[in-house]
Structure 1
Amino acid sequence: MKLTVLCDNNTITDVYLTGEPALSFFIEDSGKKILFDTGYSDVFIKNAKALGINLLFTDYIVLSHGHIDHTGGLVHLKEMYKKAEEEGFSFKKPTLIAHPLLFRNVYEEPSGNIGSPLKQETASQFSDVILTEKPYELTENLLFLGQINEKTSFEPLSYAGVSKDSSGNLTPDFSPDDSALLYSGENGLSVITGCSHSGICSILKEGKKVSGRDDFIDIIGGFHLLDAGYERISKTGEFLKKSGIRNIHPCHCTDFTAKAALLKYLSVTEVGCGSVFEF
């Protein structure tokens, strides 16, 4: 599996791309092309073009959760496909995979709606939308985990804004749609995550449950450890080390303090726009 970072908070030395506080990866595996999250704006499209990546032939669009820093680019993706059709360019209609709650509105002051700016009906105009709580196989080795049901005691869920419950009442929103990808490689399991609102260690537990394997070797994505306390970071490091993780690629919502603290337990690799990794 080859993974290219199209969008992240960071840029890296001598790779002249644009960054923003958001995330988007381009994944290639078993002949399939997968766009994982779409960032906040059209930055991921511009960076993909600069890197020679043609997003018009994407097989899958996978969304980790509905927050706008991961789904905002859907608006620009829609325009990209529309323009291609109007100008007679060939393209492939992708399949969009996400949790059933992804398209809900989430309100936070003073920003307003921080959920996906594009709703399911509009997304269906340029993609085949599949919303599922169950794991979904993208390739022989790459799996969308769906609902994260496993929990750890040291990863309390935090809410961002409010959303309507089944009765129409506004309640704190704990990102129930948050999910991740699991890659089963020859050397072990790797996790590709967007923001890990579910808890990065909880995601690993879910991956173990779903796959029946526990030979984890790597993680790339947001660990949701921004401004996390010492106790949570240390317990996270201990958990990852005991899980057999050799190396991690924390980015997006993981600050320098967390990365530095995790170095005590395992190797930490720098990530930025244009980074390319093979798993």
Structure 2
Amino acid sequence: MSMKSSTTVTILMDNQAVPGLVSEWGFAAAIRQDGRLWLWDTGQSAAFLANAALLGIAPQEADGLALSHGHYDHTGGLTALLDAGYHGPVFAHPDFVRQRFNITRTPIRSIGIPCVAPQFTAVKQTCALTKSMTMVTGIPRLPGNFQATKGFFYDKEGNTPDPVEDDAFLVLDTLQGIVVLLGCCHSGLMNSLLCMKDRLGIDTVHSIIGGLHLFNADRTALEETVEACRMFRIHQLVPGHCTGPDAPAQMQAMLENCETIPMKAGLSLDYPA
């Protein structure tokens, strides 16, 4: 019989927030599992620390930090976290430190990590962070499948495309079932879940939480994302950040037997033992 502890995922930063908390274009979450506290991303600024304090969470005391990818809206609070006294390990794909640009806007702007990267443990494919939490990155992109990488380059001139190979997600093993915690899902949800199935043998997911990067995607991308939810028999969908304002309701209308909960800073999701 499993002796796993309950799991709680608390959203520390998102584009939306419950009354009394701050919002920004960014994402950060806290995970309590197996008696330990882990962080997933650090938002765009130090604001996630203020939200955490109001929620009774001390990120500086976390046992570990994993980063979904090296974009400013997921790593911008790193310096503030370290200054607050965080001394735990940092896990990220080695490409998260690369300089990168979005050339679809004028002026062209840097969208990479906005600070000096701390020492970190490089994860190129799959890494068990704890007995119940696995980080998956280096996700293959199957031909024809949706991926959110348009306009991303490693240089301002647009000569070297950035496939956001450092895009990562967490797989949380709970007694309610598998919980997938995304960052921005630049790989596309279908590619991400198929990668999880190939590497970890998982074909059923209880909950998906995080950004799906559908805010500027076409109908085909939306339908593919819904199909991925159906294939893996998702029971709970918690979309936010880069998912966009319209996609959650559209997905809810297309999915049966799936609860959709809008993500926002301050939201706490419990998966009890």
Normalising to structure 2: TM-score of the pair? 0.88
Q: 1:7 maps to what in 2?
A: 13
- Residues in 1 aligned to 2:109 and 2:217: alpha-carbon distance in whole angstroms: 25
- Residues in 2 aligned to 1:29 and 1:150: alpha-carbon distance in whole angstroms: 30
- Residues in 2 aligned to 1:136 and 1:199: alpha-carbon distance in whole angstroms: 20
**Deviation at residue 56 of structure 1 after TM alignment:** 2.1
Report whether the alignment pairs 1:147 with 2:142. no
Contact 1:147 1:177 in 2 (8 A): yes
Q: How has the CA–CA distance of structure 1 residues 256 and 262 changed in structure 2, closer, same or farther, with 3 Å as cutoff?
A: same
**Deviation at residue 157 of structure 1 after TM alignment:** 4.5
Report whether the alignment pairs 1:105 with 2:110. no
Q: 1:75 maps to what in 2?
A: 79
Q: 2:112 maps to what in 1?
A: 115
| Counterpart residue identity of residue 4, structure 1 | T
Decide which of 32, 47, 57 is 2:61's aligned counterpart.
57
Contact 1:234 1:261 in 2 (8 A): no
- Deviations 1:170-191 (Å, cap 9, x if unpaired)? 4121211101001122232111
- Deviations 1:103-127 (Å, cap 9, x if unpaired)? 001123525321012233xx13xxx
Q: 1:248 maps to what in 2?
A: 237
| Counterpart residue identity of residue 276, structure 1 | S
Q: 1:269 maps to what in 2?
A: 261
**Deviation at residue 158 of structure 1 after TM alignment:** 2.2
- Residues in 1 aligned to 2:162 and 2:138: alpha-carbon distance in whole angstroms: 15
Count, aligned residues: 257
Q: 1:159 maps to what in 2?
A: 150
Q: 1:85 maps to what in 2?
A: none
| Counterpart residue identity of residue 161, structure 1 | F
Structure 2 unaligned residues grouped into runs of 5+: 1-6
Listed as ranges, the matches of 1:14-25 within 5 Å are 15-25=19-29
Structure 1 unaligned residues grouped into runs of 5+: 82-91
* Percent of aligned positions that are identical: 30
Q: Which portions of structure 1, spanning 4 or more consecutive aligned residues, are displaced by more than 4 angstroms?
A: none
**Deviation at residue 137 of structure 1 after TM alignment:** 1.2
Cα-Cα RMSD? 1.8
Q: 2:126 maps to what in 1?
A: 135
134-143 or 61-70: bigger deviation? 134-143
Q: 1:89 maps to what in 2?
A: none
3-state secondary structure, aligned to 2:154? strand
3-state secondary structure, aligned to 1:249? strand
Normalising to structure 1: TM-score of the pair? 0.86
**Deviation at residue 152 of structure 1 after TM alignment:** 6.3
